[in-house]
Structure 1
Amino acid sequence: MNTTVSIFTVIPEPLHESLTNYLETHPDWDQTRVLTAALSLFLLQNGDSDRHAARIYLETLFHQC
């Protein structure tokens, strides 16, 4: 069972504008998918190489979530 958790965060306006521009030109992506991919990649690169983070990252990239 995949449980999801909602988070609220504040990001710099230029980053939000870049994200908005990206999403406008890539309709198969949404904010949740982008942030999930980014967070899971960050954890893979800077964490303990958790297998769960790797699985989520790959599923997100290949749109299987």
Structure 2
Amino acid sequence: MNASVSILAEIPEDLHESLQGYLDNHPEWDQDRVFSAALSLFLLQNSQTTTPDATRSYRRAARVYLDTLFKHAV
């Protein structure tokens, strides 16, 4: 099952303009895909897998990151 949670976030205007430029040049990507990839990569880079629960969370974040990164446009 692939569940989604909607997030409303304010971002700096410069970041929004950069994101819009990226999306304009990469039509196979959308805003949701970019945010999923960015957030999962952040969690991977900043995780501490010292407990079984943390290890499971790391693996789930890794799965989301890889699925998002290598998702093919349909």
Q: TM-score range by the shorter chain?
A: over 0.9
Mapped partners of 2:19, 2:5: distance in 1: 21
The CA deviation string for residues 23-63 of structure 1, in whole angstroms up to 9 with x for no partner, is 00000000000000000000000023510000000000101
2:61 equivalent among 49, 53, 65? 53
Mapped partners of 2:70, 2:10: distance in 1: 27
Mapped partners of 1:26, 1:43: distance in 2: 24
- Give the structure 1 partner of residue 9 of structure 2: 9
Runs of 4+ off more than 4 Å:
none
Any gaps of 5 or more consecutive residues in structure 2?
50-57
Mapped partners of 2:48, 2:70: distance in 1: 23
Please report the RMSD computed on the Cα atoms of aligned residues, expressed in angstroms. 1.2
Mapped partners of 2:27, 2:41: distance in 1: 21
Any gaps of 5 or more consecutive residues in structure 1?
none
Once the two structures are TM-superposed, the CA of residue 17 in structure 1 deviates from its matched residue by 0.1
- Give the structure 2 partner of residue 42 of structure 1: 42
